[in-house]
């Protein structure tokens, strides 16, 4: 399906979604968020895709935020609809059975920071800047920032960033635990593709179950989380991929996983 504001590329089991509004610093208007929802659903339907990379067009911004020119004219009902759409996109990314990687190549502010945090892994260019500056406009994060930022960097740091609206550079984001690594701009996408390709070569059922248990277990007491792990661990022993993976290990050859 062709999109106006989103590009999709698939290669070697890795899909790359690029938000393509560079003249607007890839700002998220309603049309773009709706297209991203459809694009993520399209990726979910493609069983050949084993990992997803999300990035922004150009070298200035991942996503500079939600489109203020559009939001400025919203009343409360329209703002609620827009927020619900943004939350739907975050939920779609988190519920994908494959890992998602945010390649943050520039500004990731407001909705852009929230979009990155809906991904499993975040890597950043040295040029990246992060922040939830919504209070500067007398609003608050509306796409999941209040909850996801606290889970990424801890509640005290999240309060500081949201209350002040301050921006942080990539080095601070790495120090706070928001990003995994900071790379020179020209190395960002190659690094993310290397990580995605490595993931794509693992047992897809196991990766999917690991993502599911990690997400569900994070909000559960330890005993309940461990119960989820035990069940998923045992369930995987009913798959052909588990038999193939262990046979390949014993036979000292690369495994041939099929997702069954």
Among residues 63, 56, 57, the alpha carbon closest in space to that of 86 is found at 63
CA distance to 113, 158, 256, per residue, from 118 (Å) = 9, 15, 30
**22 burial type by CB count under 10 A (0-12 exposed, 13-18 middle, 19+ buried):** middle
- Give the dihedral of Cα atoms 232, 234, 235, 241; nearest 10 deg: 110
Q: Is 194 among the catalytic positions?
A: no
Exactly one of 41, 134, 229, 258 is catalytic; which is it? 134
CA distance to 21, 32, 62, 126, 170, per residue, from 24 (Å) = 6, 12, 11, 21, 22
Q: Is 114 among the catalytic positions?
A: yes
For tokens 């049309």, name the residue: 31
Exactly one of 9, 114, 174, 229 is catalytic; which is it? 114
Q: Under 8 Å CB-to-CB from 21, ≥6 apart: which residues?
A: 5, 27, 32, 57
CB atoms within 10 A of CB 246: 12
Which residues are known catalytic residues?
Answer: 114, 134
């Amino acid at each position: 399906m062709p999109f106006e504001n989103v590009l999709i590329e698939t290669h070697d089991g890795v899909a790359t979604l690029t938000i393509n509004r560079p003249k607007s610093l890839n700002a998220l208007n309603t049309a773009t968020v709706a297209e991203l929802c459809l694009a993520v659903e399209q990726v979910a339907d493609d069983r050949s895709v084993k990992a997803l990379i999300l990035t922004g067009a150009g070298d200035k911004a991942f996503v500079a935020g939600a489109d203020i020119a559009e939001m400025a004219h919203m009343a409360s009902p329209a703002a609620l609809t827009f927020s619900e759409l943004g939350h739907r996109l975050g939920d779609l990314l988190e519920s994908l059975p494959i890992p998602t990687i945010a390649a943050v190549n520039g500004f990731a502010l407001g909705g852009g920071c929230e979009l990155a945090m809906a991904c499993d892994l975040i890597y950043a260019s040295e040029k990246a800047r992060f922040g939830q500056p919504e209070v500067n406009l007398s609003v608050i994060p509306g796409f999941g920032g209040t909850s996801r930022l606290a889970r990424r960097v801890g509640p005290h740091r999240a309060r500081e960033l949201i209350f002040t609206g301050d921006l942080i550079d990539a080095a601070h984001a790495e120090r706070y635990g928001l990003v995994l690594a900071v790379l020179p701009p020209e190395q960002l996408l190659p690094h993310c593709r290397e990580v995605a390709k490595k993931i794509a070569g693992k047992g897809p059922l196991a990766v999917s179950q690991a993502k599911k248990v990690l997400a569900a277990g994070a909000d559960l007491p330890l005993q309940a989380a461990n119960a989820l792990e035990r069940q998923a661990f045992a369930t995987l022993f009913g798959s052909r991929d588990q038999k193939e993976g262990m046979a390949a290990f014993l036979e000292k050859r690369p495994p041939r996983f099929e997702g069954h």
